[in-house]
Structure 1
Amino acid sequence: MLANQMPAVAKDSGSVVVSPVSGKSDLKHFIELPKRLYREQPGYVAPLDIERAETLDPGKNPYFRHAEVQLFLAWRGDKPVGRISVQICKLYQERYGDRTGHFGFIDAIDDLEVYAALMAAAEDWLSQRGMLRILGPLSFSTNEESGLLIDGFNALPMLMMPYHAPYAGFRLEECGYGKAKDLIAYDVDKTTYQAVGSNRLLDKVKAEGRVRVRPLNMKHYHRDLALALDIFNDAWSENWGMIPFTQAEIEAAAAGLKPLIDPKLVAIAEVDGEAAGMLVCVPNLMEAIADLDGSLLPLGWIKLIWRLKVGRLKTARVPLMGIRRKHHGTLLGATLLPLMFAAIKDHFLSRGLERVELSWILEDNLPMRRVCEGVGAKAYKTYRLYEKRLG
């Protein structure tokens, strides 16, 4: 399906047949499969079908402008039993030049034959296009859902963070995949968060007057969110596996996040009048849609709007935070994130929010992990990226 130049073909692996997604019926199966697999699991909430469809639509997701993508379904008889995406990002190739392709959207029944067939189809597709390594899951990139959940299966479902069954990691390892990198999600509860905000160093920086922390200006929403994403691109540009947001992706992210944005839960730190850091906290959409099973019909729209605008959600996520590289390793830079956390604290608590997830952080990004732990956050979920050499 979608943007491949060479046609994908069905792969027969014993009783399992893996075939490329073709047409609306296949796409519907691809979107709905995780619901059937995970519906009874306490750590799973079905994402909105409309959001999944837009993510997989080459006309709506800017990722497809710089990537070649194929979706596959695994079938046993007439029943879909697994799914996977496989993709080659041109921007990744330009940046790293290591001939690595990616896989994502990996979900299947607990059956090694199914996993082996899906991974073989992905590996063949990439090998035919000259790739030497496969890495994932990335659905589709590090700027979207990343990693495979390996612990915290019963923990709070969170916006833009994937769910996988406990067996998934073991099945990938049985297919010859090994750990490439772990991603850590942190959790802060309101009791701990109340203690954030004042120590001698932060008070000194505030007194000097060089730093100003302000909320997002909704009159200039697109400008301010684009500014936050520009800071994110700069802050994380040297991190492992990072691909900066393109301008089109910045615009799409701004449009997608707007219904969730509370301007007082966004902090932009300015140093000597220049934007130097940002922190974006958004209410947890997964809490608001927990009982909708992915559908907004017939009354889901009403429930969702009421819960976001009137109801008091208890959970939130910080998907974006960082400071510009010029301030990394400086004493002033070390204060910016704590100051931003302190700036949104009162509004966070006044909204009735009780927990916030900070995610995700690379396992070896010790400076950022120390910042998270410094505001009382505790690691509570781990997502793993897997890799395998091809050929």
Structure 2
Amino acid sequence: MTLTVEEPKGEDALTAFVLFQNEVNASRSARWPANLPLLLPILMGESPFVRERELRPLVVRDGEKLLVRAAAVVDHRYIGHWNEKLGHIVFFEALPGTQQAVRLLLDEACAWLEGKGLSAARTGMGMLDFPYVIDAYEALPPSLLRQNPASYHVLIKQAGFEAEKGMVDYKIRVRPELVARWESALEGARRSGYAIVPLRDVPADHRAKLFADLWNETFRAHWGWTPLSEDEVALFFMLLEMVGVLETSVIAYEGDEPVGMLFVAQDMPGLVALAPGRVLDASEKMNMLGIGVREKSRGRGVNYAMASYAYLELVRRGLTWLSYTLVLDDNWPSRRTAEGLGAEVCANYLVYRRNFRR
């Protein structure tokens, strides 16, 4: 075995980097395909997501065979927001039996980050990167989330990483009593003077900026958060408009003042790659969700009202299962919101960290 670390350059090599995810997950009976339209422009330096960020994609090959991939990121927005000299390693994927190759790649990524003046690396939380599932390995998660085999945890820990943070995923089986609960929550907020406005009714010329400002304000103290730009939010809206994101995502107002935001996008099950004979269960056709309320308006039911608005819209579209998506293990206000909406824990996830000087 002759292992080499390479930095892929050019559209063909970077396309192969993105599509490697499909090879890793090829044995799954149901999988989300690699998102080439979103990820390739990032790696090519042609996306809003590269602003204030330095990226270095890496692969390890045995001869011509690609074994492992990841990208090291110096995220100046994150560093400035948290005043923490932390880098990120995103888009990690590896074939089975590649422990030596994984160590080689992650060592190279960490050395590059350390050379940029950083003191640690995180994987599983960062620019469009999500944590590693630790139990629900065969279930099809919402498209936002990572599908990974159990072996990743050994590979990552053998490369000097430690578990840093736990997260939980929630989902809901739609039932008549929950629909009634959501209708009541929405009506209660309206009686209290709040308006829940879908994004389609927010003027397009300032929709993305308003949403980004609210998201950044409400998440500013959220562990691991990196501020979003207006252009990044606008890109999300453009890519997801076909699934009705402007009808399911909302802004909450108290009078003329915006006090909360909800991002909900219905998944596109038609994109799922299925093995012969595999049929998606209703519980595998869900959505993505992110929610935030300004501090002054918390504890007043605005969170329940916004989520209820979106859930009722998704139920009208025919969904019978819904996702509240990821929550930090210790974020009890959000976990209580999930449970109050009728959600139950369905999967657990981990974020990893490697300190360069241990």
**Same fold, TM exceeding 0.5?**
yes
Task: Tell me what 1:20 maps to.
Answer: 7
Query: Is residue 2:288 matched to residue 1:318?
Result: yes
Report deviation, 1:369.
0.7
Report deviation, 1:198.
5.8
Select 1:211's aligned residue among 177, 180, 194. 194
Please say if residues 30 and 274 of structure 2, whose CA atoms lie closer than 8 Å, have aligned partners that are also in contact.
Answer: no
Report deviation, 1:125.
1.1
CA distance in 1, matches of 2:188, 2:34: 44
What letter corresponds to residue 289 of structure 1 in structure 2? L
Please say if residues 213 and 343 of structure 1, whose CA atoms lie closer than 8 Å, have aligned partners that are also in contact.
Answer: yes
| Pairing of 1:324-339 with structure 2 (within 5 A) | 324-328=294-298, 330=299, 332=300, 335-339=301-305
Normalized against structure 2, the TM-score is what? 0.88
CA distance in 2, matches of 1:220, 1:102: 35
SS at match of 2:309: helix
What letter corresponds to residue 151 of structure 1 in structure 2? D
Please say if residues 314 and 353 of structure 1, whose CA atoms lie closer than 8 Å, have aligned partners that are also in contact.
Answer: no
CA distance in 2, matches of 1:345, 1:42: 28
| Pairing of 1:351-390 with structure 2 (within 5 A) | 351-390=317-356
Select 1:173's aligned residue among 157, 160, 177. 157
Query: Is residue 2:80 matched to residue 1:94?
Result: yes
Normalized against structure 1, the TM-score is what? 0.81
Q: 1:223–1:196: structure 2 CA closer, same or farther, 3 Å change rule?
A: farther
Task: Tell me what 1:3 maps to.
Answer: none
Task: Tell me what 1:280 maps to.
Answer: 263
SS at match of 2:203: helix
SS at match of 1:197: helix
Select 2:64's aligned residue among 74, 78, 82. 78
Report deviation, 1:382.
2.4
| Pairing of 1:1-391 with structure 2 (within 5 A) | 15-42=2-29, 44-59=31-46, 61-110=47-96, 111-138=98-125, 141=127, 144-191=128-175, 193-197=178-182, 205-208=189-192, 210-217=193-200, 220-221=203-204, 223-285=206-268, 287-291=269-273, 315-328=285-298, 330=299, 332=300, 335-391=301-357
Q: 1:344–1:106: structure 2 CA closer, same or farther, 3 Å change rule?
A: closer
SS at match of 2:114: helix
Task: Tell me what 2:278 maps to.
Answer: none
SS at match of 1:55: helix
Report deviation, 1:23.
2.4
SS at match of 1:238: coil
SS at match of 2:112: helix
Task: Tell me what 2:279 maps to.
Answer: none
Please say if residues 43 and 157 of structure 1, whose CA atoms lie closer than 8 Å, have aligned partners that are also in contact.
Answer: no
CA distance in 2, matches of 1:172, 1:133: 14
SS at match of 1:53: helix
CA distance in 2, matches of 1:155, 1:114: 27
> Alignment identity in percent?
19
CA distance in 1, matches of 2:150, 2:236: 30
SS at match of 1:125: helix
Per-residue Cα deviation, 1:215-252 (whole angstroms, up to 9, x for no partner)? 22357345334433322211111111212112332332
Please say if residues 313 and 352 of structure 1, whose CA atoms lie closer than 8 Å, have aligned partners that are also in contact.
Answer: no
Structure 1's consecutive aligned runs of 4 or more residues displaced over 6 angstroms after TM superposition are none
Please say if residues 171 and 324 of structure 2, whose CA atoms lie closer than 8 Å, have aligned partners that are also in contact.
Answer: yes
CA distance in 1, matches of 2:17, 2:310: 39
Per-residue Cα deviation, 1:182-212 (whole angstroms, up to 9, x for no partner)? 222211122274243266x87665434x122
CA distance in 1, matches of 2:58, 2:51: 20
Q: 1:22–1:253: structure 2 CA closer, same or farther, 3 Å change rule?
A: same
Task: Please provide the CA RMSD for this pair.
Answer: 2.6
Per-residue Cα deviation, 1:133-190 (whole angstroms, up to 9, x for no partner)? 111134x52xx23222222112223222222121101211122211111222211122
Please say if residues 214 and 260 of structure 2, whose CA atoms lie closer than 8 Å, have aligned partners that are also in contact.
Answer: yes
Unmatched segments (≥5 aa) in structure 2:
276-281
Per-residue Cα deviation, 1:52-102 (whole angstroms, up to 9, x for no partner)? 32332311x222120111001110111111101001011122222332111
What letter corresponds to residue 69 of structure 1 in structure 2? L
